[in-house]
């Protein structure tokens, strides 16, 4: 990869499932300490793009650069060690384990026990509610609390960047607000965020930049205010005439 000041550089990736191509020549970048959104309708290819960056899917062509290094062919666990955390739509919590046990598992790539304890204290400072419920089983928590736990677990590995897939799905409006306020707080602490989200209005309120994906292609990009002002976006995604 060429020298870059971005955290992430995706260059002309093409991705297929068998003979069906779903992502076509997608390129975008994510700057340090920024919140960048991938927006689009269901089936547009947004989650496939995240999974490709996370090493869960191999692109047919193109490249993914993270911190100036080519990571296109690296496995997921090595990406976590380099500071890339992927929080999937499913959240993948261990519902029969406690909050603290789930958090500790999120630090599997951290070798020093003192650093794990330090990360745990930092996460509890960020999410006091999780500290209050540290001994509670994850499966007994509300949807908003589970999403909070999923984000916190992703932070236990000291990521430079987190990727969130549909973090507001299934949440009440109040909990959606909590999730996005958390993303804003993380940005203030220097954590970069790439988010896939169908809640376009709220996402554009918090994101610095957005890329609109349609049928596997980038059809628009710009600052959040530029995207929000586009008449096509207002009509198609915001329900405005």
pLDDT in tens, 111-120: 788 888 888 9
pLDDT in tens, 181-199: 888 988 998 899 999 988 8
**Of residues 207 and 197, which shows the higher confidence score?**
207
Domain ranges of the chain: 1-83+192-241
What dihedral do alpha carbons 58, 59, 63, 65 form, nearest 10°?
-40
Entry pTM:
0.87
- pLDDT at position 2 is 44
pLDDT in tens, 123-153: 898 888 899 999 999 999 988 788 889 989 9
Confirm if 225 and 35 have CB atoms less than 8 A apart: no
Q: What CATH number matches the domain at 1-83+192-241, 3.60.15.10, 3.90.1210.10, 3.40.50.300, 3.40.640.10?
A: 3.40.50.300
- pLDDT at position 56 is 94
**Whole-Å CA distances, 103 to 19, 73, 200, 230:** 39, 28, 29, 41
């Amino acid at each position: 990869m060429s020298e870059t000041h971005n955290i992430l550089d995706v260059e002309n990736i093409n991705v297929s499932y068998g003979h069906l191509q779903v992502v076509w020549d997608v390129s975008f970048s994510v700057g340090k300490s920024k919140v960048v959104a991938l927006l689009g309708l269901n089936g547009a290819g947004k989650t496939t793009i995240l999974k490709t960056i996370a090493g869960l899917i191999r692109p047919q062509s193109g490249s993914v650069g993270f911190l100036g290094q080519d990571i296109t062919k690296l496995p997921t666990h090595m990406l976590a060690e380099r500071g890339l955390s992927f929080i999937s739509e499913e959240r993948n919590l261990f519902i029969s384990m406690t909050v603290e046990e789930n958090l500790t598992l999120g630090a599997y790539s951290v070798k020093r026990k003192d650093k794990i304890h330090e990360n745990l204290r930092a996460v509890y400072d960020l999410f006091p509610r999780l500290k209050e419920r540290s001994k509670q089983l994850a499966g007994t928590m509300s949807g908003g609390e589970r999403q909070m736990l999923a984000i916190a677990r992703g932070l236990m590995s000291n990521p430079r960047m987190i990727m969130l897939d549909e973090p507001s799905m299934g949440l009440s409006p109040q909990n959606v607000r909590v999730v996005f306020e958390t993303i804003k707080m993380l940005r203030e602490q220097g954590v970069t965020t790439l988010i896939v989200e169908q809640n376009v209005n709220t996402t554009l309120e918090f994101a610095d930049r957005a890329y609109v994906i349609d049928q596997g292609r980038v059809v628009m990009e710009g600052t959040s205010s530029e995207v929000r002002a586009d008449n096509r976006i207002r009509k198609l995604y915001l329900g405005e005439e």
